[in-house]
Every structure is written in C-alpha cells, then in structure tokens.
Amino acid sequence: MSHYGNGKQDEVFSKKIKAGKRTYFFDVKATKNNDYFLVITESKRQFEDGNYVKHKIFVYKEDFNKFLACLEETVNHIKTELLPNYDFENPETYRDYHENE
C-alpha cells in the first residue's frame, strides 16, 4: 500500500508484540522523499468504554544509535541492578513466586 504523492507516510515494515493488556507496534515509515523513521506505539484498551488509548514515539534515523544505546543501557540497568532475580525469559515464574509469599 503506497501513500506517495498524497502527503502521508508509507509503512514499509511492521512488527507487533502482544503484552498482556497492551500491544506494542514497531513501524518503519517512509516519507515521500524516501526517508525512513521508526514509530513505536503502545496501544492499551480502556475498560470503562472499550476504546484504545495510544501513545506514540517517533525516532528519526539520526537518533537511532543514541536511542538504541540508551535503551540497552537502561534495560540492562533494570535487569542487573534493580531486578537481578527476575526471570525475563519466564515472567510468570516471578509473579507466581511473589503471589505465594
């Protein structure tokens, strides 16, 4: 599906992650000048009205390396310093452990 010529961005790649009550979308979009950027969207359903609330982050090519380095550093800090006993490969184990305390 191409949107070239009408001012809209063209989606060229997309990945989706379902995570409990949230869904994350990682979309690569192209401008009409064939420039590319990343849009990260968190979509969460509201129970009151059933509508979805979406939050978007736009990451541009000149910021990819800095963004990724900062994200990796931050996640590694959480994994090693703040939650060293959390099993990130099997999060249900951690929940079960704390529910039984």
Fold (CATH) for 10-99:
Nuclear Transport Factor 2; Chain: A, (3.10.450)
CA–CA gap between residue 81 and residue 74 (Å, rounded): 10
Which DSSP string do the residues of 15-36 spell out, in sequence order?
EEEEETTEEEEEEEEE-TTS-E
For 17-35, write each residue's pLDDT tens digit: 998 889 999 999 999 898 9
For 42-94, write each residue's pLDDT tens digit: 999 887 887 899 999 999 999 999 999 999 999 999 999 999 999 888 877 65
pLDDT at 9: 64
Domain boundaries, the chain: 10-99
Closest CA to 26 of 35, 36, 39, 37: 39
Q: What's the pLDDT band for 4 if we cut at 50, 70, 90? A: very low
